[in-house]
Amino acid sequence: MGNIRLHDKSFRPFIDNDTIEKAIDKVAARINADYKDSEDIPVLLCVLNGSILFTAELMKRLNFKCEIVCVKLSSYVGTKSTGEVRDIIGMTGSVNGRRVIIVEDIIDSGKTIANLTKMMDSSGATETRICTMLLKPGCYKLDLSIDYVAMEIPDDFIVGFGLDYDGLGRNFKDIYVLDENMRYYILFGPPGAGKGTQAASMAERFNLCHISTGDLLRGEMASGSELGLKAKALIEAGELVPDEIVEGMIERKFDTVEGYSGFLLDGFPRTTAQAEALDKMLAKRETKVTGVVSLMIPDGMIKERIKHRAAIEGRADDASDETISNRIKTYHEKTEPLVEYYKAAGVYNEIDGTGTIEEVRGRVNSLMESL
């Protein structure tokens, strides 16, 4: 189970299908015990659309004769309950003179259940019981008794196993909870600091989507996307790819990637203007940069590592002192304003990048866990 993305929001795993199935087994056993000597044929009132899967799984486990009637009401818009219950379809059959078990997917404030119970009374039901897959006890304040509860959960917005977010997510067999803490990390470090090595480890350990601007550009160009085609045309013309195209690619990645708990940005932002653009992207998502991880090594070590890497890769042009000095100078000129920018935002963190890969990784992991 990884994160899923529905519309503009990310959801993380919450309740796996095996746990759901076991909870339904238990609640079905209780209902069977209560109705084992029934001479009549009770009605299961399936509250559409959310309780479709729960009702189907529950019915398969009931060993007494029963019928099903459906009704559709709604009190949700997006992720918030409006408090207004609207009769959208009405009942698909009669409950007059029948015992009724209302089958709900989730009960929070209880306003929907209160309305349904009144509807059953006015429709001639001789008895009304309530069965719900999920109950939010922290939200439920009514005196009306809930007869059968499969599971209790906190006051979180969830999807899956019949529950949706603006129409999507009902089909997932597991249940997911809104991940309002989608994390956005930035990785800084001079050439030779080991960003690539540490980024791979960070992404795997913390379930992050690693976004390297170089890889992103190549990927967009290879995919033939509109942004990729624009970037390709500029590069082939010998021009720099402007910030707005790179920013557009990153935002597209934010909007389309699924299955991650956050993002690790490597190579972006490089300027204060890009940092401000990133802040605007995240503000639209009602969030901000979680943390900046800066791998710090002394300039002398930068020279040693770049020369060593250039020798291994056979890139003699990268091994000259003048070239290396220019790269170090460029790094300091571009990075130092961002250091101050993110220090002011209270999210800048430095890591000692010297030592073995394992030693540096340990420091990085400790920092990430604290964030």
Residue 352 sits in a domain whose CATH number is 3.40.50.300
Q: Which tops the pLDDT comparison, 278 or 329? A: 278
Mean pLDDT of the chain: 86
Residue 281 sits in the same domain as residue 306: yes
Q: What value does the mean pLDDT take over residues 339-350?
A: 93
Domain count, the chain: 2
Residue 316: in which H helix or E strand, if any?
none
Residue 164 sits in the same domain as residue 192: no
Q: Is the pLDDT of residue 336 over 90?
A: no
Q: Which tops the pLDDT comparison, 151 or 319? A: 151
Q: Which tops the pLDDT comparison, 166 or 128? A: 128
User: In the prediction, which pLDDT does 220 show?
Assistant: 77
Distance CA 288, CA 226 (A): 27
Could you tell me the CATH number of the domain that includes residue 112?
3.40.50.2020
Beta strands per DSSP E along the chain: 4-6, 9-15, 43-48, 67-77, 80-87, 99-107, 127-135, 148-152, 158-159, 175-178, 183-188, 208-212, 262-266, 291-296, 348-352
Stretch among 17-26, 81-90, 104-113, 292-301 having the lowest mean pLDDT: 81-90
Sign of the dihedral defined by the CA atoms of residues 240, 243, 248, 254, in that order: positive
Q: CB within 8 A of 61, min separation 6: which ones?
A: 24, 25, 28, 29, 32
Q: Is the pLDDT of residue 157 over 80?
A: yes
User: In the prediction, which pLDDT does 44 show?
Assistant: 97
Residue 344 sits in the same domain as residue 256: yes
Residue 201 sits in the same domain as residue 262: yes
What would the pLDDT profile of 84-126 be if each residue is shown by its tens digit? 555 556 788 999 999 999 999 999 989 889 989 999 999 999 9
Provide the pLDDT confidence category of residue 244 given band limits of 50, 70 and 90: confident
**What's the pTM?**
0.57
Q: Which domain holds residue 35?
A: 4-178
Stretch among 20-24, 64-68, 207-211, 345-349 having the lowest mean pLDDT: 207-211
User: In the prediction, which pLDDT does 258 show?
Assistant: 74
User: In the prediction, which pLDDT does 235 show?
Assistant: 72
User: In the prediction, which pLDDT does 89 show?
Assistant: 66
User: In the prediction, which pLDDT does 158 show?
Assistant: 94
Q: CB within 8 A of 224, min separation 6: which ones?
A: none
Residue 94 sits in the same domain as residue 243: no
Distance CA 300, CA 140 (A): 64
Q: Is the pLDDT of residue 80 over 60?
A: no
